[in-house]
Structure 1
Amino acid sequence: MTKESIQKITDKLTETLVRKNQDYGGASFDLGMQGNFVHIYDKVSRLRSLVWNKNSPNFESVEDSLMDLMGYCIIGLHILEQENTSSDEQKIE
């Protein structure tokens, strides 16, 4: 694992997240951290099924599941940042 190999993955993830956010209009943020947790749980369940059961995917591969999982973790960090910023703004008022 090198800085370049990590950058290649994160560049692809960044492009995917930006495109999906444009397509979905930020819907991943609508339900806050609890909704984000549900998305992460679903992805982990999907990944578990692919890896443990060695299911042959019809649609989503192990790579797709891992990329989505990383994406939802990044979205979770954004949600957390928004919640903290909102909380800080309320303290100032």
Structure 2
Amino acid sequence: MDNKFLEYTDYLANVLQQKNLAYDDSFSKSLDEDGLLVLKIRLGDKFNRVSSLIKKNELKENDESLEDTLLDMAGYAILGLKYLKEHKNE
């Protein structure tokens, strides 16, 4: 069976791995220090970017495209899920 979603999820997994190594897992460290509100803020910032791009009828502003922003939102959601799973017994 051909799963067309794997193209996107595999790409996202690679991006997350690279960024997580480059930033030394800064997302988890931020959550450890400041709590789950960090997840809300990061996703909220990306949601606001999506909203702004759509309202302006632009698919790209500066160096961030709508596609990049959606990928970032998916990435933060997965990072949030990963964090919750890793800390569920705390």
Q: TM-score, normalised by structure 2?
A: 0.85
Provide the residue aligned with 1:64 in structure 2.
68
Higher strand share: 2
- Structure with larger Rg: 1
Structure 2 runs not aligned, ≥5 long: none
**AA paired with 1:31?**
S
CA RMSD of aligned residues (A): 1.6
Higher helix share: 1
Hey, which bits of structure 1, 4+ residues long, moved more than 4 A? none
Identity %: 29
Contact 1:29–1:36 (CA<8 Å) still a contact in 2? Answer: no
Cα drift, residue 81 of structure 1: 1.3
Count of matched residue pairs: 85
Write the distance in 1 (CA, Å) between the matches of 2:26 and 2:37: 13
Provide the residue aligned with 1:37 in structure 2.
40
Structure 1 runs not aligned, ≥5 long: 88-93
